[in-house]
Amino acid sequence: MTCNLVFGVDPGCLAISLPVMSMMDDALETLFLRHITPMPCWKLMRWLEIGQEGKMAAARRTIDAFVAATVAQRRADNKLKQGGISDSADLLPASSVRNLVYLHAALCASACGCTRPSVPFEHKAYSMGRMPGVWGKDCMEFWPERWLSEGGTKLRYEPSYKFISFNAGPRTCLGKEMAFVQMKIAAAAVLWNFAVELVPGHAVEPKLSIILHMKNGLAVTARRRDGRASRVTASSSRLNTSRPCKHC
């Protein structure tokens, strides 16, 4: 999603010849292990480029090379077009999802009500989303209208120190707006093409990581709007909507 939106490029997540996703996994695993490994140990391993830190060094070089090559290609393409990026398929869909206010509110309701933060190793507790003193007696209810104006056409402002899912003040996540754009595009692309139901009995468990993942993915039955059904497992970090929607 990020590569498509930022660069207008499909990174080929499943391609053996372009192991960007596996490199990302190696980097995340290394950052996680740094929380439980004595600092002198992992710094020595990083200097020697051995063990998990060796994988981190290789991952960094692969990711840096991919980003540098992609940026260079985009710049070259723009020079050839001489007309800017008017026909680009990257960040431009963001003018089209701005009006999806109810979907935005639903995502806020989901993020606020989470009992686990998306970045669990920030070493702080997120409990405000379940506090009656902050959100009222109905704080345990999934209620997107909480983020909408009375007419339901505009989003209601909530201060970051109250809606703390993206941190607050000077520590507010720099990617907050990008995250909402990605989530709305992915959700809109999936829901436009599929009716999705959770597989009964599927265990939803967190995977220990510096960024929160689902341990077993999210098993759902996806039924195309034309009536065909198939059972798929969608990982929260690798939801691929490139087939249903060309912009995603």
236 pLDDT more than 60: no
Choose from 7-16, 128-137, 194-203, 219-228 the range with maximum mean pLDDT: 194-203
Q: How far apart are CA 224 and CA 227, in angstroms?
A: 5
What is the mean pLDDT of the segment spanning 182-204? 88
In CATH, the number for domain 94-234 is 1.10.630.10
Mean pLDDT of the residues in the chain? 77
Q: Where are the domains of the chain?
A: 2-81, 94-234
- Adjacent-strand bridge partners of 223: 195, 229
pLDDT at residue number 244: 34
What is the mean pLDDT of the segment spanning 95-111? 82
Q: Would you place residue 150 in the very low, low, confident or very high pLDDT band (cuts 50, 70, 90)?
A: confident
Q: How far apart are CA 248 and CA 245, in angstroms?
A: 5
Q: How far is CA 213 from CA 117, 118, 188, 207, 246, in A?
A: 11, 8, 21, 5, 26
**φ, ψ of residue 93 in degrees (nearest 5):** -60, -10
pLDDT at residue number 54: 92
- The number of CA neighbours under 13 Å toward the Cβ of 241 is 24
204 pLDDT more than 80: yes
Top pLDDT among 99 and 7 is at 99
pLDDT at residue number 48: 93
45 pLDDT more than 90: yes
What is the mean pLDDT of the segment spanning 87-109? 72
What is the mean pLDDT of the segment spanning 70-82? 74
CA angle 152, 153, 155 (to 5 degrees): 85
Percentage of the chain modeled with pLDDT above 90 = 10
96 pLDDT more than 70: no
- The number of CA neighbours under 13 Å toward the Cβ of 17 is 1
